[in-house]
Structure 1
Amino acid sequence: APFFLKPAAKMLVGGLDKAFFGPRLKALMTEIEKALGKSTWFAGDNLTAADIVMGYSMELAAHRAGMDAGNYPNAHRFLQQMRAYPSYQRALEKDGKGTILL
């Protein structure tokens, strides 16, 4: 591939991230924060399949949105709860470290 394609692609993705993905992610994280402020888990006070499904997406959101206890405390708590489960840890390990960031 020509040498100029990588910088051009990076610039395009950066522009899309700033103009579209960033604001959308912030809006979604605000809604997630509200939902998790009402209960321990997404569907109530007990772990359900909904939480298991959301776990992987929340890992990605943690990376992309810079999620921590300061800016999204409920979402951060959710992810810490998920990470406390040995089965969740094994699932992340089986997936292969780093692939979530692609």
Structure 2
Amino acid sequence: MKLKNDDGIIDLNILIDEILRTIHICEHVEITVNNQLPKVFGNDFRYKQLFQNLIQNAIKYNDKEKITVEIGNSESDTEISFYIKDNGIGIPQ
């Protein structure tokens, strides 16, 4: 049994798939994973909490008739950057 404070290797593709299967996604919402996500070391519960909140916020705070959400990452030699982009109203500067 995995505890909330256990760290380990996490396949983010599996984690995102689990999130998308467990949250309610309306028919007018299209979610795309743009590339193969990496495996990372960390806390499964925290990563799931983070990505689920970002995905749900991208949907919740969107006023478009057709909502699109893109999930992906880019990597360099020293870091991995993740993004969740949507076609919503954005955040004022």
TM-score by length of 2: 0.27
TM-score by length of 1: 0.25
The structure where helix makes up a greater share of residues is 1
The structure where strand makes up a greater share of residues is 2
- Which structure is larger by alpha-carbon Rg, 1 or 2? 1
